[in-house]
């Protein structure tokens, strides 16, 4: 089985090394294409106005891993891997293991999730893995779960390509409560900009702030009541798996706009007459 792996923490990050090496030892055909430096919170950005450079990386990963560093974004890395470096499409696109959680609304900013989303856009089943801690460095439980999950998906393929967003609690394997299928929660950020002066006396701003997690959210009527948010379950030491898709269409919003007459040629209220 062929696997293409990227991340947003950079080619030398511990998380991607642990993941790629564990999969290579297990016998998978692993190719790594990662940014040459940290690219966290870049979302699904693409490099359009400058060249993308890629260099072979040696002596960092398991000898069976083929690895490149890329000057672009996480999404660039997957595009380059699929269309410029690999001779054949992979069976899965993987991203991570990220240092830090990707829960709830984080997925809109996350370079980790966006790398996996790029795989999904190409019709390839994709998985984003994140260790839900910025300070913990034990990626082994996450790597073990990644091995188990990929093995299961090989035996029982998903009915259609999808993106699985997986977060692993930063605890020992013995403390993990289980695995939960979840929906996206909400992680709002109270943003502040610190105003500073550089050595030349010029003003610059540094984004700061803190996260506010909303644990109690209204149930989604489209889902069973038992499916609660990833934000809540990760706090209970569950591994969370949230299926995602690129379709952001608001079905309820379409119904509302149709009821307002948008699609009936009524131009008067739009001041077009």
Determine the pLDDT at residue 191. 67
CA-wise closest residue to 141 among 130, 126, 154: 130
- 76 is a domain residue: yes
| pLDDT tens column, 192-209 | 788 899 999 999 988 776
pLDDT band at 141 (very low <50, low <70, confident <90, very high): very high
Lowest mean pLDDT among 80-89, 145-154, 178-187: 178-187
Question: What residues have CB less than 8 Å from 21, skipping those under 6 apart?
Answer: 61, 62, 65
Return the exposure string of 142-179: e unless at least 16 CB atoms fall within 10 Å of the residue's CB, then b: bbebbbebbeebeeeeeeebebbbbbbbbeeeeeeeeb
Taking only the tens place, the pLDDT of each residue in 208-263 is: 767 766 666 777 778 887 888 999 999 999 999 999 998 888 888 888 878 877 66
Phi then psi dihedrals of residue 93, to 5 deg: -105, 130
Model confidence at 168: pLDDT above 70: yes
Q: Range of 247's domain?
A: 2-184+218-252
Per mean pLDDT, which of 39-43, 140-144, 216-220, 248-252 is the most reliable? 140-144
Closest CA to 131 of 166, 182, 105: 166
Mean pLDDT along residues 111-124:
96
Q: Is residue 151 part of a domain?
A: yes
The answer to whether residue 204 sits within a structural domain is no
**How much is the average pLDDT of 169-176?**
94
R_g of the chain computed on alpha carbons: 21
Q: Is residue 209 assigned to a domain? A: no
pLDDT the model gives residue 259: 81
In a domain, 155, yes or no: yes
Confidence at 158, pLDDT banded by 50, 70, 90: confident
Residue 170 lies in a domain: yes
Residue 88 lies in a domain: yes
Nearest-angstrom CA–CA distance, 15 and 238: 19
End-to-end CA distance of the chain: 60
- Burial (CB count within 10 angstroms: exposed 0-12, middle 13-18, buried 19+), residue 128: buried
What are the structure tokens assigned to 71, written together?
A: 């000057």
pLDDT at 271: 57
pLDDT given for residue 85 in this prediction: 96
| CATH number for position 126 | 3.40.1210.10
Residue 196 in any domain: the answer is no
Tell me the pLDDT tens digit for each residue of 52-86. Answer: 999 999 989 999 999 999 999 999 999 999 999 99
Distance between CA atoms of 113 and 127, rounded to whole angstroms? 8
Task: Tally the domains of the chain.
Answer: 1
Instruction: Return the closest-CA partner of residue 141 out of 96, 110, 107, 185.
Output: 96
Say if residues 39 and 77 touch (Cβ distance below 8 Å): no
Tell me the sheet residues that pair with 55.
Answer: 69
- Look at strands 163-168 and 238-244 and give their pairing: antiparallel
Look at the alpha carbons of 219, 224, 229, 232 in this order and tell me if their dihedral is positive or negative.
Answer: positive
For 124: left if phi > 0, alpha if psi spans -120 to 50, otherwise beta; the answer is beta
Q: What average pLDDT does the structure give for the chain?
A: 90
How many angstroms separate the CA atoms of 246 and 50, rounded? Answer: 26
Q: In degrees rounded to 5, what are phi and psi of residue 33? A: -135, 110
pLDDT the model gives residue 52: 93
pLDDT at 273 over 60: no
Instruction: Enter the pTM of the model.
Output: 0.90
By percentage, how much of the chain surpasses pLDDT 70?
A: 92
Beta bridge partners of 197: 203
**HEC string of 23-43?**
HHHCCCEEEEEEECCCCCCCC
Q: 185-195 burial, b if ≥16 CB within 10 A, otherwise e?
A: bbbeeeeeeee
């Amino acid at each position: 089985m062929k696997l293409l792996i990227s991340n947003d923490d950079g080619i030398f990050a511990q998380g991607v090394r642990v993941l790629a090496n564990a999969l290579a030892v297990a016998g998978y055909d692993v190719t790594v294409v990662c940014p040459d430096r940290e690219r966290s919170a870049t979302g699904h950005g693409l490099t359009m106005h400058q060249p993308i450079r890629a260099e072979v990386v040696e002596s960092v990963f398991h000898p069976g891993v083929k690895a490149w560093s890329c000057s672009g974004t996480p999404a660039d890395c997957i595009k380059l891997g699929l269309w410029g470096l690999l001779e054949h499409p992979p069976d899965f696109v993987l991203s991570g293991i990220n240092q830090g959680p990707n829960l709830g609304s984080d997925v809109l900013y996350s370079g980790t999730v966006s790398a996996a989303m790029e795989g999904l856009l190409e019709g390839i089943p994709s998985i984003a893995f994140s260790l839900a801690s910025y300070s913990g460095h034990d990626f082994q439980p996450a790597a073990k779960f990644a091995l188990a999950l990929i093995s299961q998906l090989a035996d029982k393929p998903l009915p259609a390509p999808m993106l699985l967003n997986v977060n692993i609690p930063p605890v020992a394997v013995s403390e993990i409560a289980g695995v939960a299928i979840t929906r996206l929660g909400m992680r709002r950020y109270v943003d502040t900009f610190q105003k500073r002066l550089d050595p030349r006396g010029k003003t610059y701003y540094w984004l700061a702030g803190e996260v506010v997690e909303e644990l109690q959210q209204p149930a989604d009527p489209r889902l069973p009541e038992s499916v609660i948010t990833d934000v809540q379950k990760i706090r209970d030491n569950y591994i969370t798996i949230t299926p995602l898709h690129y379709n952001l269409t608001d079905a309820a919003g379409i119904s509302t706009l149709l009821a307002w007459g948008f699609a009936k040629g009524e131009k008067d209220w739009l001041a077009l007459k």
